Amino acid sequence: MKRIFLTGFAAAFLFSCSSPQRDGAAMATVSAAETEIQQKAQEFLATYAQKYQELYTASVEAEWQSNTKIVEGDSTNAVATRRANEALAAFTGSEFNINHTRELLKHEEHLTPLQKKQLEEILYTAANNPQTIPDVVKRRIKAETEQTEKLYGFDYKIFTQKVTTNDIDNILRTEKDLKKRQAAWESSKEVGKSLRTGILNLRQLRNETVQNLGFDDYFTYQASEYGMTRQEMMDLMKKINKELHPLYRELHTYARYELAKKYGVKEVPDMLPAHWLPNRWGQDWSAMVNVQGMDLDAALKSKEPKWLVEQAERFYVSLGFPGLPRSFYEKSSLYPLPPNAGYKKNNHASAWHVDLENDVRCLMSVEPNADWYETTHHELGHIYYYMTYTNPDVPVLLREGANRAYHEAIGSLMGLAAMQKPFLVELNLVDANAKTDEVQTLLKEALSYVTFIPFATGVMSEWEHDFYAKNLPADQLNKRWWELARQYQGMVPPTVRGEEFTDATTKTHINDDPAQYYDYALSYVILFQLHDHISRNILKQDPHATNYYGSKEVGEFLKSIMYPGASADWRQMLKDKTGEELSARAMVDYFQPLMDYLKAQNKGRKYTI
């Protein structure tokens, strides 16, 4: 590809602008220069996008193989993935593409907004793979592949019996014997021992990679995609946490006393023991509450796992979205592997846009229970987002969410909508005449959404911030993790967790989706803003009892957000669609009716956070 030199065009433009007379000839010169620069930019973008899509597809396909077929001792997939990722990195981070993009952006006033966005995206991607330091990038790719294999290839055991993460999660949701709970919880953390060396190596490589293009550290790099500094992002996390803290404080107090009663413990602890909670990281406590008349686990028990996925698809189709392509079911990995499979797979649910066109897939391990019912709706939210912004108006390079949080917001929004009683009645999963306690329903939701906020805004975001931006000492990784869990979640481990453990790394995102967990906190804020608007202004329904099913108007509203992908300004879109800027107001309002109930329950109880 020929190198483009724009100096002459820029000079012509500046000369015409500085002329005291703006006659027709001068204006024609400006127009010609602008047109030619835009033409050169478009030629570069078209050539870049074609090669990028080709290499991206090969990379994602290789990653898919590495995540869906993990064979102990077989490095075939790992080697193929590393080669594909190295090829993509060499292209996106090439000095030629970096220099060329910078040269074009020097004349951004001549570019169309869509061209400017694409060029900025090229530079952002390049910062993660700069070929000015190719050896560092190769080492990072190799290290990331090895870390993924260690995480998902790990053999979990309770005592001597092999278990899956689904088994561990089921124990933590239902078991009342504290010794068995502790054994399951501790089993879930064993994998962290083997991940410490890898995560420390990855910190160095990730920081060094982005520092080459001027970012202070990897956390700063990731936050920049929102148009925010590292400090601005952390300030926003503190603000969100502060706004939800009064309700979380009530939930924390309530949980301490209710769980002590459940487990037969007379002395209520000041901090929640981690193994008391129904989630490996204490981020979701909703399994504490079973709402009478809303026993979704029982309703789904007789269903085939396939029904959950197909029902989620029917939900989106009812809103006016198309059916999933046949290839989705042919190529996805949707269900748990049989015990005799001879290999393992990634156990974390995810959605994949393999070729940035029509190849969309999900990686899940669906079982017929309430958690997977919600998860299928969430993951298909990502899939339909991919499908909607794959259109002629959105260039390949901008086929992403308006920001990373939007993708999660759409998925979580549909998960919330799918769990509300009127919707469940529509599906005959709940008896329309069943009496349900609305306060308990709201409590169950709060134990999912509100308890997540201090984990996401505090524990995860603060730990990764300190890890990358403050170079958290290697002998304080676990110490800092549990300091933050105590500070934000009011949670402590059942026994002392020394530095032989690396409990942070048991969270998949620390390893393979680093320095971005604030995306999820922001997504919850956005989802409640969207849900508030949909329920009040489109459906004219109580936000606590909605039924999106069959509403083409809701579908059109969602499509209007999803269609432009990353070509839209995320802040302006939120304001245009909901009438307000990013704010936890809607989330606080949604759960406000619960406060009186919790305060009454907690009367006379000791508050400890």
What string of DSSP letters covers 399-413?
Answer: -S-SSHHHHHHHHHH
- Contact (Cβ atoms closer than 8 angstroms) between residue 516 and residue 404: yes
**pLDDT tops 70 at residue 509:** yes
For the segment 268-284, the average pLDDT, to the nearest whole number, is: 98
Looking at residue 74, what is its pLDDT? 82
pLDDT confidence tier of residue 15, bands split at 50, 70 and 90:
very low
Higher-confidence position of 49 and 36: 49
- Contact (Cβ atoms closer than 8 angstroms) between residue 60 and residue 351: no
Tens digit of each residue's pLDDT (9 = 90 or more) over 492-503:
999 999 999 999
For the segment 558-563, the average pLDDT, to the nearest whole number, is: 98
Looking at residue 436, what is its pLDDT? 86
For the segment 124-144, the average pLDDT, to the nearest whole number, is: 95
- How far is Cα 33 from Cα 21, in angstroms, rounded to an integer? 18
**pLDDT tops 90 at residue 3:** no
Tens digit of each residue's pLDDT (9 = 90 or more) over 156-189:
999 999 999 989 999 999 999 999 999 999 999 9
- Contact (Cβ atoms closer than 8 angstroms) between residue 153 and residue 70: yes
- How far is Cα 381 from Cα 11, in angstroms, rounded to an integer? 48
Per DSSP bridges, beta strands 360-363 and 350-353 are: antiparallel
Three-state secondary-structure class, residue 433: coil
Three-state secondary-structure class, residue 510: helix
Beta carbons within 8 Å of 314's beta carbon, 6+ residues apart: none
What are 353's strand-pairing partners? 360
Q: What is the dihedral of CA 402, 405, 410, 415, to 10 degrees?
A: 170
What are 360's strand-pairing partners? 353
**pLDDT tops 70 at residue 200:** yes
Question: What's the start-to-end Cα distance of the chain, in Å?
Answer: 61
Would you give the DSSP letter of residue 476? Answer: G
pLDDT-wise least confident of 293-297, 331-335, 356-360, 455-459: 293-297
Residue 460: name the closest of 505, 412, 415 by CA.
505
Residue 459: name the closest of 489, 432, 492 by CA.
489
Q: Which two tokens stand for residue 268?
A: 């209520």
Q: Which two tokens stand for residue 421?
A: 């009683």
- How far is Cα 151 from Cα 506, in angstroms, rounded to an integer? 8
- Contact (Cβ atoms closer than 8 angstroms) between residue 351 and residue 410: no
pLDDT-wise least confident of 29-33, 83-87, 250-254, 459-463: 29-33
Looking at residue 137, what is its pLDDT? 94
Distances, alpha carbon 530 to alpha carbons 227, 403, 406, in Å: 22, 15, 10
How much is the pTM?
0.88
Looking at residue 12, what is its pLDDT? 28
- Contact (Cβ atoms closer than 8 angstroms) between residue 452 and residue 509: no
Looking at residue 230, what is its pLDDT? 97
Q: Which two tokens stand for residue 401?
A: 């969410």
**pLDDT tops 80 at residue 20:** no
Strands annotated E in 320-404: 350-353, 360-363
pLDDT confidence tier of residue 14, bands split at 50, 70 and 90:
very low
The whole-angstrom distance between residue 184's C-alpha and the CA centroid of its chain comes to: 26
For the segment 339-360, the average pLDDT, to the nearest whole number, is: 93
Residue 527: name the closest of 454, 594, 582, 592 by CA.
582
Distances, alpha carbon 16 to alpha carbons 11, 22, 28, in Å: 9, 8, 9
Looking at residue 587, what is its pLDDT? 97
3-state helix, strand, coil in the chain (%, to 5): 65, 5, 30
Q: Which two tokens stand for residue 7?
A: 């100096």
Which run of H or E residues covers position 317? helix 305-318
For the segment 457-481, the average pLDDT, to the nearest whole number, is: 98
**Percent of the chain residues topping a pLDDT of 70:** 95
Mean pLDDT of the chain: 93
Looking at residue 294, what is its pLDDT? 85
What are 273's strand-pairing partners? 492
Q: Which two tokens stand for residue 455?
A: 């984990």
In the block, residue with structure tokens 């962290």:
192
pLDDT confidence tier of residue 292, bands split at 50, 70 and 90:
confident
- Contact (Cβ atoms closer than 8 angstroms) between residue 340 and residue 579: no
Looking at residue 348, what is its pLDDT? 86
- Contact (Cβ atoms closer than 8 angstroms) between residue 379 and residue 411: yes
Q: Which residues of 175-190 are buried (b: 16+ CB within 10 A; e: fewer)?
A: beebeebbbbbbbbbe
What are 157's strand-pairing partners? 162
Higher-confidence position of 547 and 28: 547
**pLDDT tops 50 at residue 17:** no
- How far is Cα 200 from Cα 140, in angstroms, rounded to an integer? 11
**pLDDT tops 80 at residue 8:** no
Distances, alpha carbon 52 to alpha carbons 1, 39, 157, 300, 487, in Å: 14, 20, 42, 43, 44
Residue 444: name the closest of 175, 258, 168, 167 by CA.
258
At what angle are helices 518-533 and 230-263 packed, to 10 degrees? Answer: 80
For the segment 404-423, the average pLDDT, to the nearest whole number, is: 95
